[in-house]
Structure 1
Amino acid sequence: MSLQQESLVLFIAIITVFIAATSTTARAQKLNSSNCKSSCGTGKHANVVPYPFGFSNGCPIILKCNQTAGDVKIGEFQVQNITPNGILINIPAECDRSIEKIRPLFGQNFRPSSNNSFLLQNCNSSYKFSSGCVISTRSLRRDLNLTNCVDKNHDLNCYSPVPGDSDTFDYQSMISTQCKSVFSSLVFGWESSFVSFQIERVKLEWWHSGDCADNRCSNNATCTQVKLRDRNFGFRCHCTDGFAGDGFADGNGCRRGKSTWRYICNLF
């Protein structure tokens, strides 16, 4: 066999291996998303969440599903919105709700954003809240219809995480306040040049394990790193303008069209 023929055989072998590897990767990516159950409920009550969210063991981020009603929850709290930038949770005002009830919001792939302020009750008077925010329950009764708090004289302490190098804060920092109850939560943010403010809401940062250096977003998608504690990172993918989809290489990727990457619970 001539040198030219040997080179041709070697080239064909390399191309064959490359195609096989690419096909195997594509099949694995398709398998990853197909193993994740993304629908909750049936008929008009059905709600579909985007990858990497879902309701089975094949999903990187598992949520709770009430199959009959189509309700999507984390712990006992209703999911209101899922977007490329976060998860919005409904946390109705409730007096003397045990602080243990919010532990599920501090998950493996999601935690409350540093933009939240929790309204805490039944706190140890020795703890010094850095924000110095104390709101009288009486001032909120009318707006929140707190008939179960009429005879209570508990004040609400606003707890916000100490500014740092993390986009989230952990459950242990909540426990350190020595408060026994969580009344509700406030979410602060910026919309254009205005400050947005929502009560009875918690915003969670969410992430896929890894970081942007892993290059696990699909074509036509951008990667956003989420700063976690102890100098760790997670990442999120988002299709660029003009493309729709979940943005993940192991999900449904991006396709041309108007972005509809959003889950909105039917109850809101």
Structure 2
Amino acid sequence: MIDASVLSLDMIPWSDLAPFIVAGFLAQLVDSGLGMGFGVLANSLLVLLGLPPGAASAVTHRVEGFTSGASGLAHALQRNVDWPLFGRLVLPGILGGLLGVWVLTSVSMAILRPAVLAYLAAVGLYLIWRGPRRPQSYRRMKLVGPLGLFAGFLDASGGGWGPMVTGNLMAQGMTPRMAIGTANAAEFFVSVTVLTAFIGRLGFHSFTIAASGLLIGGIVAAPCGAFVTRRISPRRLMELTGAILVALSLGGLVSLMFSPIPLFARL
């Protein structure tokens, strides 16, 4: 662990932090740029760096609340957030997160995961097909409250806010950069709610080397991802989002079929 009393930069173990900083940067760059992927990429990279799957998941959960806040702020500064839609998403998302924590501690969620993965894969394929065929134009989104509620529930029970919210908003016809920015901004409040709800059971310890490096890399990458999102063409952004959705979903389905495969331990 890093001693909080050590203030001198030359005493910080940069050689130990560096691999985790790179992992956090890459995971958050994709997540901030496409609205999804931090959990699965961070988990995968941490496992590849030698952390046990359980420890990798715990580190990712702890850091994600902070990186999602940095990402949401960066998207707001880039004017990628639809604030009325944000308001319609965030409160149901918080309620869904609380419900997910309660359910997760009471019953198994294993039966729900394959259905969600198959649905997200279908949404991803639709986005890939639709990207070059139909330009995006803003219109009032439908069923935003239920979407936020269910996505918050998924986030608490294993992750899924980004893929569910971003994919659905795009599929309904929302401008890709606004869908990504709004989903990222709302995710911060959902993640903090879920973390707070779990904290009594899991406890809160000082940041490890892995968590510290992941956090540094994630915070540095957040504004880069928001900047890129604003400048990529809507069609290309939609195709990339669809491809990430399909890849995450297929990876999750493979992990269920050939368990244990820690590379895709969390959606």
Structure 2 length-normalised TM: 0.25
Structure richer in strand, relative to its length:
1
Greater radius of gyration (CA): 1
Structure with bigger RCO (C-alpha 8 Å, 6+ apart): 2
Structure 1 length-normalised TM: 0.25
